[in-house]
Amino acid sequence: MQQILRNIQEVLAQEEYGVGSYYFGKGLYVSAASRLQGLTDHFPLFSHADEALWKLGESYMKLPPKFRDKAAAAYSKLIREYPLSSWAGTPNAG
């Protein structure tokens, strides 16, 4: 039963990631940040959480300076929780 729940969460997270990535690619950074923040908050076991955190940080960096703390929080979480990820410590990885 736990694996079924995990699989469902992965599918839901993938949908959010797809929408967030679409917005990110279109330069709609407020919308991207909103989707990716929700994703990383609610689905920490998502298989691409590291990349989602990187895109979240990048999205916040594209917004006015008042969002720099949120960008720093996303990058910090990426490095702390996924230190071996290719997205950790790689400026402009995407």
Buried b (16+ CB within 10 A) or exposed e, 53-83: bbbbbbbbbeeeeebeebbeebbebbeeebe
75 falls within a domain = yes
Q: What's the domain range around 9?
A: 2-81
pLDDT of residue 88: 87
Structural domain contains residue 76: yes
CATH of the domain at 30: 1.25.40
* pLDDT attached to residue 90: 57
The answer as to whether 88 is a domain residue is no
pLDDT at res. 34:
98
93 domain-assigned: no
pLDDT of residue 5: 87
Q: Is 89 part of a structural domain of the chain?
A: no
Domains held by the chain: number: 1
The owner of tokens 């990631």 is 17
